[in-house]
Amino acid sequence: MDRADSGGTPAVRYRRPYAVPENLELLRGPSSGTVHLPTHLDWSGNAVYDLDAPGRIVDLYRAVLIEAASPQDLYTYLNAAVLLRLWALLWLPAPLRKAWEQKFPVLAEISRITTAA
Query: Dihedrals φ, ψ of 40, to 5°?
Result: -70, -15
Is 3 among the domain residues?
no
Centre a 10 Å sphere on the Cβ of residue 88 and count the other Cβ atoms it contains. Answer: 14
Is 89 among the domain residues?
yes
Is 8 among the domain residues?
no
Domain count, the chain: 1
Would you give the DSSP letter of residue 11?
A: P
Question: What tens digit of pLDDT does each residue of 51-107 get?
Answer: 999 999 999 999 999 999 999 999 999 999 999 999 999 999 999 999 999 999 999
Give residue 102's domain range.
24-116
| pLDDT confidence band for 13 (50 / 70 / 90) | confident
Half-sphere exposure of 104 (CA within 13 A, CB side): 19
Q: Which amino acid is at 65?
A: L
Is 88 among the domain residues?
yes
Q: pTM (2 decimals)?
A: 0.85
Residue 67 near residue 17, CB atoms below 8 Å: no
Is 44 among the domain residues?
yes
